[in-house]
């Protein structure tokens, strides 16, 4: 019997550019008694650092429509992207104000949706750590992953702290602990908390600056002698994978750091093949990492 049910919000980047992350998440979910329920008609979140800056009511109306679709399922939202999470949880917060809710629902009326404020948005990390629990995750592990990992948390998972379930965090270790539950060893590295350089429109507007930021993080990871890096945001994932290839070309570097979204690593630990986890679809080869743990694509 399924114990945990969520409205599954994919956003834009996953279905358009990283379907392997969706596939991996759908495969690992049943082993954790998770049911992912479709959000029919869901749209872009929209991005917190772009549309909101130009017109807040437009941003909030689109956000509220997505929240209303999840609410019609009667289920909280499970989100894989830090940016989408930032938008949706901020929308939940802003719409608690009765005046704001009334104004936005008036705009939504023409779409056939109304938001009542009965659900919230949860990041994958929150679902796995708080709702499922490390012990339940450990019970699904049939292939412990003995390797050294650098963790990239990403900005919107933690900030603004006043509307995040973990509040102000000096040393956020939840992702580290989730990786350790699979058998991994966490390696500390310089600039761990630094932005990947993709968000806020920076990757689109100033690609060279964006790539220079990811280059700095990659160099710090290289110095730490890791086997792979793990992230919990698809946009950060794109930046470290595609962006790593672009940074190599632009700066003449040769970084070859395998990049895994957490559910891909979890799937390997649960006994799924690298191909089922979509690891053959990455820009940067994961072959050295797989060889380290006794696998191959």
* Span 4-124 CATH architecture: Up-down Bundle (1.20)
Q: How far apart are CA 267 and CA 27, in angstroms?
A: 7
Exposure string for 200-230, b = 16+ CB within 10 A, e = fewer: bebbeeeeeebbebbbebbbbbbebebbbbb
User: What is the pLDDT averaged over residues 191-212?
Assistant: 89
- Mean pLDDT lowest among 11-20, 49-58, 172-181, 274-283: 49-58
Q: What is the pLDDT of residues 128-147, one digit of tens each?
A: 999 999 999 999 999 999 99
Q: Give the pLDDT of residue 146.
A: 97
The DSSP secondary structure of the chain, one letter per residue, reads ---EEEEEE-TTHHHHH-HHHHHHHHHHGGGGTEEEEE-TT------TTTHHHH-HHHHHHHHHHHHHHHHHHTSPEEE--HHHHHHHHHHHHHTTSHHHHHHHHHHHGGGT----S---EEEHHHIIIIII-HHHHHHT-SS----EEEEE--STTT-SGGGSTT-S-SS--HHHHHHHTTT-EE---TTTTS--S-TTTHHHH-HHHHHHHHHHHHHHHHHTT-SEEEES-HHHHHHHHHHHHHHHHHH-------EEEHHHHHHHHHT--TTTTTGGG-SS--HHHHHHTT---
Mean pLDDT of 233-241: 96
**pLDDT at site 61:** 97
| Contact criterion met (CB below 8 Å) for 66 and 60 | no
pLDDT value of residue 297: 81
What does the alpha-carbon distance between residue 87 and residue 113 come to, in Å, rounded to a whole number?
18
Is 272 a residue whose pLDDT tops 80? yes
**What is the average per-residue pLDDT within 263-285?**
98
Could you tell me which residues come within 8 angstroms of residue 127 by beta carbon, excluding any fewer than 6 positions away?
4, 6, 34, 78
Cis peptide before 186 (omega within 30 of 0): no
Q: Which fold has domain 142-292?
A: Rossmann fold (3.40.50)
User: Is residue 1 predicted with pLDDT exceeding 70?
Assistant: no
Place of tokens 């901020």: 90
- Chain centroid offset of residue 106 CA: 32
Mean pLDDT, the chain, whole residue set: 95
The residue-averaged pLDDT of 166-190 equals: 95
Residue 204, pLDDT above cutoff 90? no
Please say whether the beta carbons of 22 and 10 come within 8 A: yes
pLDDT at 199: 81
CATH 1.20.1050.140 in the chain, residue ranges? 4-124
- Give start-end residues of each CATH 3.40.50.11810 domain in the chain: 142-292
């Amino acid at each position: 019997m399924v114990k945990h049910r969520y409205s599954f919000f994919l956003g834009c980047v996953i279905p358009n550019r990283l379907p392997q992350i969706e596939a991996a998440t759908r495969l690992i979910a049943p082993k954790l008694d998770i049911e992912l329920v479709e959000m029919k008609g869901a749209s872009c979140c929209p991005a917190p650092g772009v549309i909101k800056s130009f017109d807040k009511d437009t941003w909030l109306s689109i956000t509220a429509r997505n929240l209303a679709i999840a609410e019609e399922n009667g289920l909280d939202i499970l989100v894989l992207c830090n940016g989408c999470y930032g938008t949706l949880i901020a929308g939940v917060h802003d719409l608690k104000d009765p005046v704001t809710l009334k104004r936005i629902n008036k705009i939504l009326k023409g779409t056939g949706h109304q938001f009542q404020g009965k659900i919230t948005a949860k990041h994958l990390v929150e679902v796995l750590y708080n709702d499922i629990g490390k012990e339940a995750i450990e019970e699904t592990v049939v292939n412990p992953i003995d390797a050294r990992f650098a963790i990239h948390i990403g900005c919107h998972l933690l900030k603004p702290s006043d509307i995040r379930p973990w509040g102000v965090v000096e040393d956020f270790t939840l992702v580290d602990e989730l990786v350790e539950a699979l058998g991994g060893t966490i390696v500390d590295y310089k600039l761990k908390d630094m932005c990947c350089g993709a968000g806020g429109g920076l990757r689109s507007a100033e690609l060279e600056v964006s790539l220079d930021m990811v280059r700095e993080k990659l160099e710090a990871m290289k110095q730490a002698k890791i086997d792979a890096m793990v992230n919990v945001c698809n946009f950060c994932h794109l930046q470290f994978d595609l962006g790593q290839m672009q940074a190599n070309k632009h700066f003449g570097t040769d970084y070859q750091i395998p990049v895994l979204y957490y559910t891909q690593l979890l799937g390997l630990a649960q006994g799924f093949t690298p191909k089922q986890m979509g690891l053959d679809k990455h820009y940067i080869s994961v072959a050295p990492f797989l060889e380290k743990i006794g696998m191959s694509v």
